[in-house]
């Protein structure tokens, strides 16, 4: 009998996992630099949180949730996205006022698996809650943009739109609905069924949206306050030198968005999964899940897709491999000393020949091989094209040279 990972899930192992580790490390560092503390939230939540928060006409809720009844008879769902849970946690925390949170972890959607579309996938994201002004939107968009470019992805396009708010959106939705009714026969069955219930979803349809380029545009229906907010977001991005393209058909797949909506597109990937991340403002979300009115803005980035777009170059996970001429007990002691000094080093814990130890070093493609010859004898420090002898206490200084 043998087992494979379930359909649409992956084992991410070395050497590929090293590129993941570096990307996730960059995320931890960058989100901290922008002042976003870590939140670690449950991987399953009450099903109703997503039905109400994400919206019961969104594809994520209607088709993609991993929902089950637990032993206590409660309906729970593996989280398909992060924002509803973060808002729930904020409301539960009793906090007041501006509140930042960064997360990183697995999410689950029942999708038809393909490259960049998995049933378990990894997202990193931030939420900036209880802030209404456009500067927050700009800060959030900039953080995502910097993360993507610092990850090494150079071909990224930022798409931007404004979806209006409860004051101006109804007129837009009516205009869109009547436009779609006139074209009902040209639409897929899924889209046609959405015309009355949630016509914005139709613009999000991969199949139909390319033919709807002359649909009414949200930005032509914005009320004065939304138009002002959108203008301020755009000028903020311009001040930071972040290029963007306005995309009047960008509506995002989840129902909670208001005003700002954005997406980061990796132009090097296939169109079906080239959105590496996206986000926006969700000023109405807190109320839909039973909380007091609380604005917020955030994004989520798909790490699987970023790794795919990067082509995940293999990177060394060690600074050096230690070969011992006097057995593994001595090697352990020397490695412990070097590790305490911050050197990433590994060695063979089995008592193998020096030749075999060198073979392992070669297989690991380490940049440096250290050879331990015994107490009081200088160590050999070998690189691809150089070799020096140094007392062990000078080795870490050599690495920092």
Q: How far is the CB of 50 from ligand AMP (least distance, A)?
A: 12
CA distances from 70 to 32, 47, 75, 120, 225 (A): 36, 11, 7, 20, 45
Q: Are 119 and 6 in contact (CB under 8 A)?
A: yes
Q: Site for ligand AMP (CB under 6 A): which residue of 67, 91, 117, 183? A: 117
Contact flag: residue 304 with ligand AMP (CB under 6 A): yes
How would DSSP label each residue in 176-234?
Answer: HHHHHHTTGGGS-HHHHHHHHH-THHHHT-TTTGGG-TTS--GGGS--HHHHHHHHHHH
Helices and strands (DSSP H and E) totals, the chain: 14, 15
CB atoms within 10 A of CB 29: 11
Q: How far is the CB of 299 from ligand AMP (least distance, A)?
A: 8
Rank residues 226 and 276 by Cβ distance to ligand AMP and give the closer one: 276
Q: Site for ligand AMP (CB under 6 A): which residue of 76, 222, 305, 381? A: 305
Q: How far is the CB of 301 from ligand AMP (least distance, A)?
A: 6
Contact flag: residue 10 with ligand AMP (CB under 6 A): no
Rank residues 199 and 253 by Cβ distance to ligand AMP and give the closer one: 253
Contact flag: residue 111 with ligand AMP (CB under 6 A): yes
Q: Site for ligand AMP (CB under 6 A): which residue of 144, 216, 295, 302? A: 302
Q: Are 165 and 258 in contact (CB under 8 A)?
A: yes
Q: Are 167 and 223 in contact (CB under 8 A)?
A: yes
Residues 14-33 that bind ligand AMP (CB under 6 A): none
> Interacting stretch for ligand AMP, rule CB under 6 A, among 30-38, 42-50, 109-117, 373-381?
109-117
Residues 46-85 that bind ligand AMP (CB under 6 A): 81
Q: Are 234 and 241 in contact (CB under 8 A)?
A: no
Residues 224-253 that bind ligand AMP (CB under 6 A): 253
Strand order in the sheet with 44-46: 44-46, 75-78, 66-69
Q: Site for ligand AMP (CB under 6 A): which residue of 164, 277, 296, 298? A: 277
Q: How many residues bind ligand AMP (CB under 6 A)?
A: 17
Q: Which helix (H) or strand (E) holds 371?
A: strand 369-372
Q: Are 380 and 357 in contact (CB under 8 A)?
A: no
Contact flag: residue 357 with ligand AMP (CB under 6 A): no
Tell me the chain's radius of gyration from C-alpha atoms. Answer: 26
| Distance between start and end Cα atoms, the chain | 52
Q: How far is the CB of 264 from ligand AMP (least distance, A)?
A: 7
> Interacting stretch for ligand AMP, rule CB under 6 A, among 210-218, 269-277, 321-329, 349-357?
269-277
Residues 278-297 that bind ligand AMP (CB under 6 A): 278
Q: Which residues sit at the interface with ligand AMP, rule CB under 6 A? A: 81, 109, 111, 116-118, 121, 123, 253, 275-278, 300, 302, 304-305
């Amino acid at each position: 009998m043998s087992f494979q990972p379930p359909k649409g899930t992956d084992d991410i192992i070395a050497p590929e996992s090293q590129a993941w580790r570096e990307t996730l490390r960059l995320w931890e560092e960058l989100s901290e630099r922008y002042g976003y503390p870590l939140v670690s939230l449950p991987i399953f939540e009450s099903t109703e949180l997503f039905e109400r928060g994400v919206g019961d006409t969104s594809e994520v809720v209607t088709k993609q949730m991993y929902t089950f009844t637990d032993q206590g008879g409660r309906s729970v769902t593996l989280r398909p996205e992060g924002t509803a849970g973060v808002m729930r946690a904020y409301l539960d925390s009793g906090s007041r006022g501006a509140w930042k949170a960064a997360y990183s972890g697995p999410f689950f959607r029942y999708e038809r698996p393909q490259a960049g579309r998995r049933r378990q996938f990894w997202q990193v994201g931030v939420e900036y809650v209880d802030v209404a002004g456009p500067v927050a939107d700009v800060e959030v968009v900039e953080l995502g943009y910097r993360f993507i470019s610092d990850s090494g992805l150079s071909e990224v396009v930022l798409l931007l739109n404004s979806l209006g708010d409860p004051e101006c959106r109804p007129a837009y939705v009516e205009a869109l609905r009547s436009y779609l009714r006139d074209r009902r026969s040209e639409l897929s069955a899924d889209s046609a069924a959405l015309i009355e219930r949630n016509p914005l979803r139709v613009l999000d349809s991969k199949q139909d949206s390319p033919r709807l380029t002359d649909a009414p545009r949200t930005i032509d229906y914005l009320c004065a306050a939304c138009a002002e907010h959108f203008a301020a977001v755009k000028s903020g991005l311009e001040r930071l030198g972040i290029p963007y393209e306005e995309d009047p058909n960008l509506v995002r797949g989840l129902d909670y968005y208001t005003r700002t909506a954005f997406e980061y597109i990796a132009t090097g990937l296939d169109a079906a999964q080239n959105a590496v991340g996206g986000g926006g403002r969700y000023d109405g979300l807190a109320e839909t899940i039973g909380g007091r009115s609380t604005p917020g803005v955030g994004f989520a980035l798909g790490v699987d897709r970023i790794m795919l777009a990067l082509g995940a170059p293999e990177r060394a996970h060690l600074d050096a491999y230690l070969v011992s001429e006097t057995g593994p007990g001595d090697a352990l002691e020397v490695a412990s000393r070097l590790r305490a000094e911050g050197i990433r080093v590994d060695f063979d814990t089995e008592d193998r020949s020096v030749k075999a130890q060198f073979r392992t070093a070669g297989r690991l493609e380490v940049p440096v091989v250290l050879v331990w010859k015994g107490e009081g004898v200088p160590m050999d420090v070998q690189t691809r094209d150089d070799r020096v002898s140094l007392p062990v206490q000078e080795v870490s200084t050599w690495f920092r040279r």
